[in-house]
Amino acid sequence: MQNLILACVGFALAAAGGIYLLRLAYLKKYGVVTKAEVIEIREGLRKNKPSGAYIHKLRYTVEGKTYEQEDSAGYSKPLKQGSTQIILCDPKNPKKFKFEEDLKSHMTIAAVFVAMALVFAGRFLYTYVK
């Protein structure tokens, strides 16, 4: 019974990773590519202490409307203020975006995670059935 439960946990993790991978693939295929200017940089806080991760405020225009949004990437080294970055925005909600250079690596990591979760689930399902 324990093996069946562990197999179900593996399948649940694979499903969660698959959903994230599909969201990234949607953004890659249908996302609006635009240039964003870094207008502000600040260091993130964790429990009122510096976390070592930098948060950038970006200004970009999508379909004639200008947005100023903070990223959620949390880079350990700050981007240069005034520099331009290429981002992909969600066409339905342009306030959500990802850096283009990060998208491919996030997709690779998600795909590896899904594969490992499926191997994990398959191993315990095989042991349960056997």
**Alpha carbons 51 and 74: distance in angstroms, whole number:** 9
Alpha helices in the chain (DSSP H): 2-30, 100-129
Question: What is the pLDDT at residue 126?
Answer: 95
DSSP-derived 3-state class of residue 1: coil
Q: Which residues of the chain have pLDDT under 50?
A: none
**Alpha carbons 12 and 91: distance in angstroms, whole number:** 28
DSSP-assigned letter for residue 75: B
Question: What is the pLDDT at residue 50?
Answer: 74
Q: What is the pTM of this model?
A: 0.81
